[in-house]
Amino acid sequence: MRRVLVRDLGKTDYLPVFNQMRDYTRARNSESIDEIWLTEHLPVFTMGQSAKKEHLLSPGGIPISYCDRGGQVTYHGPGQLTVYLLLDIKRMSVNIRELVARIESSMIGCLSRFSIQANRIQGAPGVYVDRKKIGALGLRVTRGRVYHGMSLNVDMSLEPFSRINPCGLLDISVTQIADFQKIDMESAKIALLDELADVFDINLNILDNLVPELG
């Protein structure tokens, strides 16, 4: 079973983390260990490579960051669990379609642990509850290695999503675990990591209070 390091970065600004995971992916080699980073970002709208400015309706004072993941505009903020997957998918013999399916399955499995039935919508990556988006994903693959990842709405202010068309979807609203039951972030982390370990058949080595140098 493959070993994967897990780093809990706590609350972070978006850009330093983006730069660090991109640099790690560019520098790694065939022997580099895979990593999973957990964080709650401070409020930010991120624009993927396919993002259209017309989907950014009224950002107000929330910063906007451009990045190299796939997809459209989304929002990150405290109370949302963002999980970055720094994986060598070539070494894992996993293609992009299967990778997306496994990420979605991990979120669906996590939500089922909280008695929430989530599903996929064809042509709209992510996971949904009654056509409300609760989990998003966006990836970048270079030389068989992936970075960026997914975000799961746990217990956060959903108001900023009203300032955008989330992921470029015009007829989709958003929801979160806290809309269905009381939840704390640590419980969400444990549940999602357990699902990732099962879905990817990996052994997670959690590094307490150890974070990479971000800058």
pTM: 0.92
CA–CA separation, 5 vs 175, rounded Å? 30
Q: Return the pLDDT at 215.
A: 39
Average pLDDT over residues 160-167: 81
Q: Which residues of 58-92 are buried (b: 16+ CB within 10 A; e: fewer)?
A: eeeebeeeebebbbbbbbbbebbbbbbbbbbbeeb
Report pLDDT digits (tens) over 103-120.
Answer: 999 999 999 999 999 999
In angstroms, the first-to-last Cα distance of the chain is 33
Closest to 167 in 3D by CA, of 116, 199, 128:
128
Catalytic option among 4, 21, 167, 192: 167
Q: Which of 21-25, 33-37, 57-61, 92-96 is predicted with the least confidence, judged by mean pLDDT?
A: 57-61
Q: Where are the beta strands (DSSP E) in the chain?
A: 2-12, 34-41, 44-47, 64-66, 73-76, 80-88, 119-121, 124-129, 132-142, 145-153, 173-174, 202-207
Report pLDDT digits (tens) over 32-91.
Answer: 999 999 999 999 999 888 766 776 778 889 999 999 998 888 999 999 999 999 999 999
- CATH class of the domain comprising 2-207: alpha beta
Average pLDDT over residues 190-206: 95
Is residue 110 flagged as an active site residue? no
